[in-house]
Amino acid sequence: MTVLAMAVPVPPGKVEALEAHIAEAIEHEDLNKTLTGFGLEHESWHIQETPEGTLLILVFQCEDPPAMLEAFGKSDAPLPVMQKQFLKETLGIDLSQPPPGPPPRMIFDWP
């Protein structure tokens, strides 16, 4: 399995909204079906406070992360639609569009 980790700046004052959103998503009746349907074996979200601001660190494990993100971006299923709308409104990320730059690259992996 391939791991993809991404760090996204969180605008000031948006951490509580982010936590509320993920709490709602976790309770969504289609959560497991949706995540496994995209080929995910693991997904986690982390908040990292830094002197420069707050980051949301997203970690995905699946066979083909770029294909998973593309399929998620094109999905019209209820949970992906809810998440895409929230991420666009709250973090300014439009997952229905290709990313503006290259994907993150791993520089260390052990074992």
Task: Return the pLDDT at 99.
Answer: 79
3-state secondary structure of 49: strand
Task: Return the pLDDT at 98.
Answer: 81
Give, for all 111 residues of the chain, the pLDDT tens digit.
899 999 999 999 999 999 999 999 999 999 999 999 999 999 999 999 999 999 999 999 999 998 999 999 999 999 999 999 999 999 999 998 887 888 898 999 888
Question: What phi, psi does 80 have (nearest 5°)?
Answer: -60, -40
Q: Identify the DSSP state of 90.
A: H
- Using alpha carbons, list the distances in angstroms from residue 73 to 10, 16, 53, 70, 84: 20, 24, 27, 5, 8
What count of residues does the chain have?
111
Task: Return the pLDDT at 97.
Answer: 86
